[in-house]
Structure formats: C-alpha cells, structure tokens
Structure 1
Amino acid sequence: MRFGKKKVTEGEESRTKYNAKKALLNLETESVVEISNQQVKNLRERGLDPDRLIIFDSKLEAKYYLEELLPLVREQSVIVELQPKFTLVPKFEKDGMKHQAVTYSPDFKVTYFTGKVLLIDVKGTEDQKFPIKRKLFDYNFPQFPPLVVMKYVKKFGGWITFEEYTLKKREENKQKKAAAN
C-alpha cells in the first residue's frame, strides 16, 4: 500500500504526514498543547475563536509563534498570515496523464509595517523535498526575499536559521576533530 492511507486502529492516535500531532495555542494562557486530528475537527465544528485559540501543524511552530511572533503582533509591528499557499508548478496534462499542481506553504508570512515581508518555515529537520521546493519558490517568486528556515537548538541559544545551525555544527565538528588529534 504505497500511496493509500494507513488505517487507524482503535486507541491509536491520528498523526499528520510528518508523524507529528497538531498543536493548540491558547493566547489567553500562552500555553501549547498537542491535540489529535479528531480534536481539531471537533474544535472547528464547534467554532474556533481565533482571538483565543490557534491551531498549528506542530508544537515547534506554535512555540516559534508564541516566543518570536506573538510579542511583535501584540505591539502591532507586524501582521502574521499562517500558511499562505504558493503554486510552484501549476496542474497540467501530458499525453493524457493529469498531474497535480505542486504547492508550497511556508509556516508564516510576516509583514512588517515598513513593507518588509518575510516568509518563515520552522523545521526540526529538513526533509528531502524541501531544498527542491525552496529553489522552485525562489525561482517563481523573485519579488519575495529568500525563505527563512528556523530551527530551535538550545545549545546554540534557541531559535537560529538553518544556515547558522549548519555553520555552527561544522565549527563544532572541526573543534571535536582537532581535540581528538
């Protein structure tokens, strides 16, 4: 069963495609809790109050919003749009075979009141598809600055870009190698 959905057995939690639960941020208490897809569905059916609760695809996204973006939103210096959708390759048909569109949704579109726009993606690790989607995005949307990919690394001081993380890891590995010799 290569492309089919795995059946969820009783008692088993439903997960997103990256095997991470959704996260619910309560803006009043500033707390983040993991929730199942069924709980998300129930919340949406009852009517989700966006001034009180926000649903994120992962706990890491909710943590970034809470720690980095919410203070800026509260001081009214930015507008944050959650998961804007960009079409990288439109749907098309070739020799009778239909191909779906290739889309990309960064986690946050942050618009400063100065007009500056940042597209931010929060990742624990980069998957294989991401570098290709990043190149397609940069090619198709030259009006936007390059994507900012954030990672939380406690030993490096918290939130850093993937580029900074890669440089610091290389430096750390060089130091370990030098110390071993």
Structure 2
Amino acid sequence: MPESEKRYYREVILPKVACGLVVKVQEQIAFELLPEKAYCGLKLPKARYKPDFVLTYADGTVEIVEVKSRFTRRMQRDYIYRRRLFIDLIAEPRGWKFTEWYADKED
C-alpha cells in the first residue's frame, strides 16, 4: 500500500472506525464495469475499477475513496474514464458517495 493510502487510513479512516462511525472497511475491491467481448474480430478486454477503499458507515451509507497523488492521476490517463464509468454504472445508481483525496506528497 502506498504511503499516501496508509496516511489516509491512519488519519481519516481509523478515527471514524474508533468512534463507531465506520463499521466496515474494504481495500482494493474490484468492480466489473464492462464484460470481455469480441467485436468485428477484436477481442475487447473487460473493464474494471478498483478503488482504494470502500467504507460502510453505521447508517448504511457507502463511500468509495480514491487516494491519488496529482502525479499519479496525470500518469493514469484512463483513470478519468474508468472513474466516470464506475460513478455512472455503479456508485450513482446505488446512492454511494465518491471521494477523491489528493495526497500532498508524491508516492
């Protein structure tokens, strides 16, 4: 786990768990966005999205957290498209929150 994710876990998630606000923490859960398929002789791979954290709150709210350095976000050019698909196909229909947290330092 990169240092920025460890810091987010320590500084943001652990206090919420300690006070009972967050009841479940999952890391790196893969969500399938599009299945693998063939089209016109092309093999199209499945598209997935793996957020850094999935938090379930005591009230049932689910929050998806993506921890990024600004450098990493620039280098992962497909991130904005996978994020958009995830929000449109999974998070928004289920009423989940989506949070991007930017690290101050580069990992």
Identity over the aligned pairs, expressed in percent? Answer: 31
Give the alignment's TM-score, normalised by structure 1.
0.50
1:138–1:146 contact (8 Å) kept in structure 2: no
Q: 2:30 is matched with which residue? A: 85
Indicate the residue corresponding to 1:70 in structure 2.
14
SS at match of 1:153: coil
CA distance in 2, matches of 1:69, 1:110: 8
Distance 1:106 1:92 in 2: 24
Match of 1:122?
Answer: 67
Aligned pair in 2 of structure 1 residues 130, 144: CA closer, same or farther (>3 Å)?
farther
Q: Per residue, is there more strand in 1 or in 2?
A: 2
User: Are 2:45 and 1:100 equivalent residues in the alignment?
Assistant: yes
Deviation track 1:77-136 (CA, whole Å, cap 9, x = no partner) reads 211111111111111112343222110011001110101110000000223212111111
Unaligned runs of 5+ in 1: 1-55, 155-181
| Larger radius of gyration between Structure 1 and Structure 2 | 1
**Are residue 139 (structure 1) and residue 83 (structure 2) matched?**
no
Q: Tell me the distance in 1 between the aligned counterparts of 2:88 and 2:40.
A: 27
Q: TM-score, normalised by structure 2?
A: 0.80
| Greater relative CO, 1 or 2 (CA 8 Å, sep 6+) | 2
Q: What SS does structure 1 have at the residue aligned with 2:29? A: coil
1:150 to 96, 101, 106: 101
In angstroms, what is the RMSD of aligned CA positions? 1.7
Secondary structure class of the residue paired with 1:66: helix
1:115-170 deviation digits (Å, cap 9, x = unpaired): 1110000000223212111111122112143521001338xxxxxxxxxxxxxxxx
What does residue 6 of structure 1 align with? none
Residues of 2 paired with 1:94 and 1:123: CA distance?
A: 34
> Aligned partner of 1:67: which letter?
E
